[in-house]
Chains A and B, each alone.
Chain A
Amino acid sequence: MLAKDISKLFTNPKMVEKFRDYVPFIAITLVVLMFWAICGDRFMSVRNWTFIAQQTPVLMLLAFAQLMIITTGSIDISVGSSLAFSAFFGALGMLWFGDVGLILGVLAGGVVGMINGAIISLLKIPSFVTTLAMLIIVRAIVIIASDGTSIYITAGTGASGGNITSVNAPWLLQMGKFPSIFIIAVVVAFFMWLFYEKTLFGQQLRAVGGNEKVLRLVGINVTSFKIKVFAAAGLMVGLAACVNLARAGAATPQAGMMMELDAIAAVALGGTPLTGGYGSVVKTIIGAFTLTIVRNGLTIAGVPPSWSQVALGLLLIAAIAISLNRSKIDVVK
């Protein structure tokens, strides 16, 4: 009797669907338990979790930006370069205008996003190609503009060297430490959730990913909407850049390299299909934490960095294989 009920549970399509919904939560639980078992207190310590809470916010904000875009069915692989660009302009803004100049960093991200959106919607060039080009161009601009040097954020005390560009902003460095950085992440996550799940804009994101043609048919201006989406995501990247500037204490030309892939991986680990139309803020947060925890756990366990990259790749494939309903997909591109 019981065995029959259980077998029913696993063959009932509704239950399978429900199970898929919970995959990201199950995955993160398993990952935590696994590293706890392997590394013990070295992993399960206040110190280590403080470290994780400090490492995740930047990735999480980048994943939010990516989530908006992926929900519409596009992709943005320029976020890593955009992060470096935004951080550089944020630091430059502080040099020029004082503390408020940091806003320039957020706006710089918005501008990069808007350019992406305009090229994609107006010139009708696929998002992958457009943002790949921007990934290269924006990085190059940062290197040219910075002349390859970094801008440092200092805490005021101690003389800085003669040829080092630096901004004195102890408050910003404080912001980049736990718990401030984590509080910022929580606040941004709440507003992101509100924005994505409850507003007309958020609803439209899913609708565009579902059937863009129909929206055009009923007279919705999808072209301008997509530019807005990329601009909004860009602002989020700009915000991530400012948080990263606070955490790292410097705007370096190499900042954010390969982070576009981490952001996409976090979204995918959150069970969001890259084909668009669906998505979840909460699961994206879980995805971002999973990624950080796995990387952190593998390091503590003594796995060499290259091998931990391999493990992350495998985890990504496994997560998608389980969380996506592949029986409904007949064409895979």
Chain B
Amino acid sequence: MDALDQKPILSVEKVTKYFGGVQALRDGSFSLKKGEVIAIVGGNGAGKSTLAKIISGAYIPDDGKVFVKGVEVERAKHSVTHMQERGIEVVYQDLALVPNMTAPYNLFLGRTPKKWGIFVDEKKMKNKTREVLEKLNVKTVQDLSQPISSMSGGQQQSIAIGRAIAWGSDIIILDEPTAALGPNETAEVEQLVEDVRDQQGTSFILISHNLDQVRRLADRIIVTHHGVTSKIFERNEITSDRLVKAITLGE
């Protein structure tokens, strides 16, 4: 793919993070190109979530640098809001949505448009939601006044991904996006990721325990082991056995 020859849209250099004296991540480094899907795999406590949270802005690294589109993220500015402004959004495994609220509310979460300063601009929200759902080719969500808890897990995850895309993000972190979903819904979400990548040129960072999914979606796979990003594999050069070995033994 041509897109992969470009300059990295995100690069992480020797990022380190401690939690009360325990080193959760050491010298984490990798880069991500436009339209690329990169997966981070590793056992529990291997540092993959720490790495993802540093990129999303939730954690501030103790050492190392993060560059977005070639510009370094200053440590003083390192925050979720700042990373969102720079085009990075996260889709969480436990569907970071408000279940009792509608699809438009969740799409606009934290960005609710206002009318006359204090009122909610519901019309604008509904229109934008329809637009986004159309873009995502999600036809199953019809009634926008229902709370999303009445929708299926796949539909909810589409809303979550829609939220990331709606605001012009070019990097989306998928934190175990299908861990809570059944096989059909998983396929639905995977298809959505591929469509968005192809149509919008969005880059994805996929954190997953599902190695088959990783091999289906990712162009490159980063393996973390004991807080170190030990190996980066191209999709074509790795077998499942080799991947499992890298995860468990760090080889």
Seen from chain A, the residues whose Cβ lies within 8 Å of a Cβ on chain B are 198-201, 203, 206-207, 209-211, 213-215, 217-220, 277-278
B100 A199 Cβ-Cβ under 8 A: no
Residues of A within 8 A of B114 (CB): 200
Between A and B, how many residue pairs show CB distances below 8 Å?
55
Residues of A within 8 A of B80 (CB): 217-219
Output the nearest chain A residue to B95 by Cβ-Cβ distance: A214
CB distance from A280 to the nearest CB of B (A): 13
| Partner pick for A218 among B100, B110, B120, CB 8 A cutoff | B110
- 10 A/B residue pairs, CB under 8 Å, sorted by A: A200-B112, A203-B120, A207-B98, A210-B99, A211-B97, A214-B98, A219-B110, A220-B110, A277-B100, A278-B100
- Chain A proximity mask over B94-132: 1 for CB below 8 Å, otherwise 0: 001111110001000110101000111000000000000
Residues of A within 8 A of B96 (CB): 213-214, 217-218
Task: Assess whether B67 is interfacial by the CB under 8 Å rule.
Answer: no
Q: How far is the CA of A218 from the CA of B112 in the complex (A)?
A: 12
Task: Assess whether B81 is interfacial by the CB under 8 Å rule.
Answer: yes
B99 A211 Cβ-Cβ under 8 A: yes
A198 B99 Cβ-Cβ under 8 A: no
Q: How far is the CA of A16 from the CA of B244 in the complex (A)?
A: 50
Residues of B within 8 A of A210 (CB): 98-101
Q: How far is the CA of A277 from the CA of B105 in the complex (A)?
A: 13
Q: Tell which of B81, B84, B112 has the most Cβ of chain A within 10 Å.
A: B112
Task: Assess whether B92 is interfacial by the CB under 8 Å rule.
Answer: yes
Q: Tell which of A198, A206, A218 has the most Cβ of chain B within 10 Å.
A: A218
CB distance from B39 to the nearest CB of A (A): 22
Seen from chain B, the residues whose Cβ lies within 8 Å of a Cβ on chain A are 58, 79-81, 84, 92, 96-101, 105, 109-110, 112, 114, 118-120
A214-B97 contact, Cβ under 8 Å, with A200-B112, A203-B105, A203-B112: yes
Q: How far is the CA of A116 from the CA of B33 in the complex (A)?
A: 50
| Partner pick for B119 among A199, A206, A214, A278, CB 8 A cutoff | A199
A218 B109 Cβ-Cβ under 8 A: yes
A199 B118 Cβ-Cβ under 8 A: yes
Q: How far is the CA of A218 from the CA of B98 in the complex (A)?
A: 11
Residues of B within 8 A of A201 (CB): 118
Residues of B within 8 A of A207 (CB): 98, 100-101, 105
Q: How far is the CA of A199 from the CA of B92 in the complex (A)?
A: 28
Residues of A within 8 A of B97 (CB): 211, 214
Residues of A within 8 A of B118 (CB): 199-201
B105 A209 Cβ-Cβ under 8 A: no
Q: How far is the CA of A209 from the CA of B112 in the complex (A)?
A: 17
Q: Which 8 residue pairs across A and B have the least CB separation, nearest first?
A: A218-B110, A210-B100, A277-B100, A210-B98, A211-B98, A214-B96, A199-B118, A219-B81
Output the nearest chain B residue to A71 by Cβ-Cβ distance: B100
Residues of A within 8 A of B112 (CB): 200, 203
Q: How far is the CA of A307 from the CA of B36 in the complex (A)?
A: 72
Excluding A215-B109, A218-B109, A277-B99, 9 further A-B contacts by CB distance (< 8 Å) are A200-B118, A200-B120, A203-B101, A209-B100, A217-B92, A219-B84, A219-B110, A220-B110, A277-B100
CB distance from A215 to the nearest CB of B (A): 7
Q: How far is the CA of A157 from the CA of B97 in the complex (A)?
A: 62
Q: How far is the CA of A218 from the CA of B91 in the complex (A)?
A: 11
Q: How far is the CA of A209 from the CA of B101 in the complex (A)?
A: 10
Q: How far is the CA of A158 from the CA of B84 in the complex (A)?
A: 70
| Partner pick for A206 among B58, B79, B84, B100, CB 8 A cutoff | B100
Q: How far is the CA of A215 from the CA of B80 in the complex (A)?
A: 12
Output the nearest chain A residue to B96 by Cβ-Cβ distance: A214
B100 A200 Cβ-Cβ under 8 A: no
